[in-house]
Homo-oligomer: A and B are copies of this chain.
Amino acid sequence: MKDTQERYAIGIDLGGTNLRGALVSRDGNIVKKIKEPVTEEVLDSLSGVVESLFSEQVAGIGLGVAGLIDRKEGRILISPNLPVLNGANLVERIGSRFGVPVTLENDANAAAVGEKMVGAGREFSSFVFFTLGTGIGGAIVHNDKLLNVAAEIGHMTVQADGQRCHCGNFGCLEAYASGRAVISRVIAALEKGRESLLRGVSETIYKLTTEDIYRTALDGDSLCREALRDAGRYLGIGIANMINLMSPGAIILMGGLTGAWDIYVKEAIKEASKRALRELFDAVKIIPSSLGDNAGIIGAAGLVFEHGVIVE
Binding site for B on A (CB under 8 A): 68, 77-78, 126, 138, 140, 142-143, 147-153, 155-162, 167-170, 176, 233-234, 237, 240-241, 243-248, 274-277, 279-280, 312
Contact = CB atoms under 8 A, between A and B. Distances in A.
B277 A68 contact: yes
B143 A277 contact: no
Contacts of A237: 157, 160
B143 A312 contact: yes
Contacts of A152: 244-245, 277, 280
A275 B157 CA distance: 8
Contacts of A277: 68, 78, 150, 152, 155, 167
Contact of A245 (B149, B158, B247, B279): B149
A53 B243 CA distance: 38
B155 A157 contact: no
A169 B245 contact: no
Contacts of A160: 158-159, 162, 176, 233-234, 237
A142 B142 CA distance: 11
A240 B279 contact: no
Contacts of A140: 245
A279 B247 contact: no
Contacts of A240: 157, 169
B158 A158 contact: yes
Contacts of A126: 149
Closest 7 CB pairs of A and B: A150-B247, A152-B244, A169-B275, A159-B160, A156-B241, A155-B244, A149-B246
Contacts of A167: 277
